[in-house]
Amino acid sequence: MATSSTGIADLYSEIVADLIPHYDNMVLLPNSQLIANQYNIEGAVGNSLQIPITNSWTGPVAAVGEGSNIITTNAQDFGPDAVTLSMAKQGAGTYVNSEALEDGGFNTVRNAVVTRLSRSIAQSTDIKGFNVLGTGGTASPTDMANIDLTNDSGLANSDLSTADVSFIFSPEALAYGVKRQPSVKMFEDIESDRYQMVASLRNGFVRTPSFTGANIAVGVQQARALIASSAIGESNVSLRASLDMVSKSVANLRSMNAPTDESGFYAAVVSAAHEFHLASELNGVGGISSGSIGSISQDLANRALLEGLIGQAVGCRFYRSNNVPTGIATA
């Protein structure tokens, strides 16, 4: 196999520049503002790093007498610890026959392939991030037993046949790391008279609880789950996602001092079914009906087009994603 010719090499920089516009309707990769802790270790040795965390500050300041030792009077234990953020390679690729390029038009075919590959990169990143947020691991949850975040819907698994898992979380809930930025490379396979187009990146997520101890595994301070029916046309109102459920998550996060974004909002990433349930409620419709969540100001409109932002209400900015766990068995 031969590497690309000069013409293909010139094209490579264009391909990289074309990646970002095709991230539409994904959430985590283009929406870096949803993740406060981001690390780029390109060029560094190794594929992981330790992120320091401490326990919660358990007590208030206390009165200290003149000349008294402050630490002896009111000692606090930071309990330093760390979580490990590891980065792994992900990739996708395809062969493109020279005939396809000749007959379909070089730029037309190239753009179609770049669109598919860049969507694959963004989608796999979303899925990985939400799996880490919901389970602490990277594997897709096979049933609700894998979801270890607190469920604020108030619904028991036995209430549902299948469910979607939406998330309400702080920008401190996850840390994101990248070892290799997303890229697409094109190679010419002379013997087969075709080209390879290969997309890859090396990245990873880890939950970052704000204190150590039992909650280091759960990160309960930083994120909550909303587990409700996966049926868009759910006829039982009590099984639908509701504003009350979202408000409860927001209240729980605020009560534990989970940080918001700079505008004072948490992120709510919801499935298409849960978006529909919430929109119906916000529109004051008794039954299932079409609608939208709240309204977004003009300065957010461009973000809405690219990043899946659909509105804001009850202390959250809402994002739609098909990459949260959906249709999960509850039995």
For each of the chain's 331 residues, which pLDDT tens digit applies? Answer: 444 433 444 444 344 444 544 455 567 865 667 898 889 999 899 999 998 876 555 566 778 888 888 887 877 766 667 889 999 999 989 999 889 888 888 888 888 888 888 888 888 888 999 999 988 877 777 777 788 888 888 888 778 888 999 999 999 899 999 998 888 888 888 888 998 888 888 999 998 875 544 444 444 468 999 999 999 988 899 999 998 999 999 999 998 888 898 889 999 999 999 988 988 887 654 444 444 555 544 444 444 444 556 777 888 888 888 889 998 877 6
- pLDDT score at 82: 81
Residue 23 placed within a domain: yes
With respect to residue 65, please indicate whether it lies within any of the assigned structural domains.
no
Q: What is the CATH number of the domain that holds 311?
A: 3.30.2400.20
Would residue 97 count as lying in a domain?
A: yes
Q: Which pLDDT score is estimated for 54?
A: 65
Instruction: Report yes or no on 217 lying in a domain.
Output: no
| Domain membership flag for residue 87 | yes
User: Does 69 reside within a domain?
Assistant: no
Q: Which amino acid is at 102?
A: E
Q: Give pLDDT, residue 123.
A: 86
Q: What is the pLDDT of residue 227?
A: 92
Domain count, the chain: 1
What is the predicted pLDDT for the residue at 30?
57
- Residue 121 in contact with residue 306, Cβ under 8 Å? no
Whole-structure pTM value: 0.80
In a domain, 279, yes or no: yes
Domain region containing 97: 6-54+83-205+222-329
CA distance 282 to 313: 9
What per-residue confidence (pLDDT) applies to 210?
56
What DSSP line would sit under 75-104, residue for residue?
Answer: ------EEEEEE-EEEEEEEEEEHHHHHHH
Residue 157 counted as domain residue:
yes
Whole-Å CA distances, 195 to 17, 70, 116, 182, 289: 20, 70, 16, 19, 48
Per-residue model confidence (pLDDT) at position 57: 56
Burial pattern 90-111, b for ≥16 Cβ within 10 A else e, equals bebeeebeeebbeeeeeeebbb
Q: Which pLDDT score, from 0 to 100, does residue 25 have?
A: 54
